Amino acid sequence: MAGLGHDQEVSPEAALAVLAYGRGVLAAQPFSVLIGAELHALSPGHAEIQLPLSAQLKQQNGFAHGGIVSYMADNALTFAGGSALRVPVVTSEFKINYVRPALGERLVARARTVHSGSSQAVCTCEVFVVKDGIEKLCALAQGTIAKLPER
């Protein structure tokens, strides 16, 4: 992803290459593979992750477990921040507000970078639950994404 700026337009080929790279990163995360997470969009400073809600990802009342909603926010924040910083990153911290139970068939997390510097990015994320084709906001998150030290 080197050479891609925040607001810089990229060719369709470059955009597909960025998305393919991100999908490779997600595929290298055993937990993400286990639960069935899908990277639907990735561009500098922006990411969208989706997750079909199977019965195994729900809690006793039938809605998505809070840990799964939190995972969606955390991973989307990290992809948005990593794509802005264009280096390997980790989540330094994040906060989440659950605004409604995630009762539906699919979760969609959309994150964007609000500010990035040389070593960290501050990002926001909205997590939606999809039921009968309608998205409803179920959580809001904000986090700091930090550059990993060079090895």
pLDDT at residue 85 is higher than 80: yes
Domain residue ranges of the chain, discontinuous segments joined by +: 12-147
pLDDT tier, 36 (very low <50, low <70, confident <90, very high otherwise): very high
Cβ count within 10 A of residue 146: 18
CA-based nearest residue to 68, from 56, 80, 78, 79? 56
pLDDT at residue 33 is higher than 90: yes
Query: DSSP secondary structure string, 101-123?
Result: ---SSEEEEEEEEEEE-SSEEEE
The pLDDT value recorded for residue 19 is 94
Match 């802005």 to its residue by tokens: 84
pLDDT at residue 1 is higher than 50: no
pLDDT tier, 5 (very low <50, low <70, confident <90, very high otherwise): very low
Q: Are 44 and 9 in contact (CB under 8 A)?
A: no
pLDDT tier, 41 (very low <50, low <70, confident <90, very high otherwise): very high
**What is the pTM assigned to this prediction?**
0.91
Q: Are 111 and 80 in contact (CB under 8 A)?
A: yes
The pLDDT value recorded for residue 10 is 74
The pLDDT value recorded for residue 3 is 36
pLDDT tier, 94 (very low <50, low <70, confident <90, very high otherwise): very high
Distance CA(57)–CA(52), nearest Å, equals 9
> Is residue 71 classed as helix, strand or coil in its secondary structure?
helix
The pLDDT value recorded for residue 8 is 58
List residues bridging with 145 in a β-sheet.
91, 121
| pLDDT, the chain, mean | 93
- Cross-sheet strand order for the sheet of 38-43: 38-43, 46-52, 106-116, 120-131, 134-147, 89-98
| CATH, domain range 12-147 | 3.10.129.10
Which tens digits make up the pLDDT trace of 95-108?
999 999 999 999 99
Q: Are 8 and 44 in contact (CB under 8 A)?
A: yes
